[in-house]
Amino acid sequence: MPKVPPAATASEKVLQTHAVAALHRLALEGVPILFAGDMGGGWRSPAAAHWAKSTGLTAGEPDLRVYGPGGRVLFVELKTPKGRMSDAQLTRHAALAALGHDVRVLRAGSGEEAAELVVGMVRKWMAGMGQFP
């Protein structure tokens, strides 16, 4: 995992890297989850943007999906403390919530903080389903 000084604000990519590593550790501990991440943001050439969109990449999709028991899915958006939600994210997250999905925004200033927060979030989410990881 990359090292990020505690006082520095990490990029959203660093937050996601640390959050994914923490989810890997949870799964290795036997917590019954699967997860997947997206790299929706970033510059693409016009051809690459067309290809991404035509294969299902959707603007505003949350950064991480955590799959839990009973067909439950937790969607997690990672933001820096000052990071703002794009219009596409606000629209997509609201649409997912309207369908009954659990969409949460996690704000962290370092990768280590993101890892700690995502583990706490997933443990609390699982406890709410009667799971006690």
Answer whether 103's CB lies under 8 Å from 70's CB. no
**pLDDT, average across residues 31-50:** 80
Domain boundaries along the sequence of the chain: 12-128
Mean pLDDT (the chain) is: 88
Determine if the pTM surpasses 0.75: yes
Q: Is 73 a residue whose pLDDT tops 80? A: yes
34-37 β-sheet, strand order? 34-37, 64-67, 73-79, 102-107
Topology at the third CATH level for domain 12-128: Trna Endonuclease; Chain: A, domain 1 (3.40.1350)
**What percent of the chain has a predicted confidence (pLDDT) above 90?**
69
Higher pLDDT, 130 or 115: 115
Higher pLDDT, 75 or 58: 75
